[in-house]
Amino acid sequence: MSRYDNYETPLASRYAKKELGIDKITDEMIEQMKAKVVVSDEAFDVARAEEKLRRHDVMAHVHAVTDNTELIFMRDALDLILPKLAKVIHNLKEFALKYKDLPTLGFTHAQPAQCISVGKRAAQWIQELVMDLEDIEHVRAGLKFRGAQGTTGTQASFMEIFNNDSPKIDKLNEILCEKAGFPGCYDISTQTYTRKVDLRVANALCSFGATAQRIACDIRHLAHMKEIEEPFEATQIGSSAMAYKRNPMRSERITSLGRKLASLNVNFSNTFVNQWFERTLDDSAIRRIDIPEMFLLTDAILISLDNVTNGLVVYPATIRAHLMQELPFMATENIIMKMVSKGASRQEAHEQIRVLSHQASYAVKMEGKPNDLIERIKKTEYFKPVWSEIDAMLDPKLFIGRSAEIVERYCGQGGVVEQKLAKYMDYIKSSATAELSV
User: What pLDDT digit, counting tens, does each position of 128-162 carry?
Assistant: 999 999 999 999 999 999 998 888 899 998 898 88
Q: From the candidates 2, 109, 430, 437, which is the catalytic residue?
A: 109
Cα gap 29→10, rounded to integer Å:
14
- Is residue 109 part of the annotated active site? The answer reads yes
Mean pLDDT of 10-37: 57
Whether the pTM exceeds 0.85: the reply is no
Q: Where are the domains of the chain?
A: 1-61+161-183, 67-146+186-314+424-437, 318-398
Q: Average pLDDT over the chain, rounded to whole?
A: 87
**Is 189 a residue of the active site?**
no
Res. 67: pLDDT tops 90: no
- Helix 67-98 / helix 166-180 crossing angle, nearest 10 deg: 40
- The CATH class that applies to domain 318-398 reads mainly alpha
Q: What is the pLDDT of residues 308-341, one digit of tens each?
A: 999 999 999 999 999 998 888 888 888 999 999 9
pLDDT at 11: 39
The answer, yes or no, to whether residue 26 has pLDDT greater than 90, is no
**pLDDT at site 61:** 44
Cβ atoms within 10 Å of 365's Cβ, excluding its own: 9
The pLDDT assigned to 16 comes to 45
Which pLDDT tens digit goes with each residue over 7-22? 454 434 433 446 666 6
How far is it, in rounded angstroms, from Cα 344 to Cα 352? 11
More confident of the two residues 261 and 435 = 261
Q: Tell me the CATH class for 67-146+186-314+424-437.
A: mainly alpha
At 241 the pLDDT is: 55
Strand-pair partners of 208: none
Is domain 1-61+161-183 in CATH 1.10.275, yes or no? yes
Beta strand 228-229 with 111-117 is unpaired
Mean pLDDT calculated for residue range 295-318: 96
Q: Among residues 40, 157, 166, 239, which one is catalytic? A: 239
Residue type, 60: A
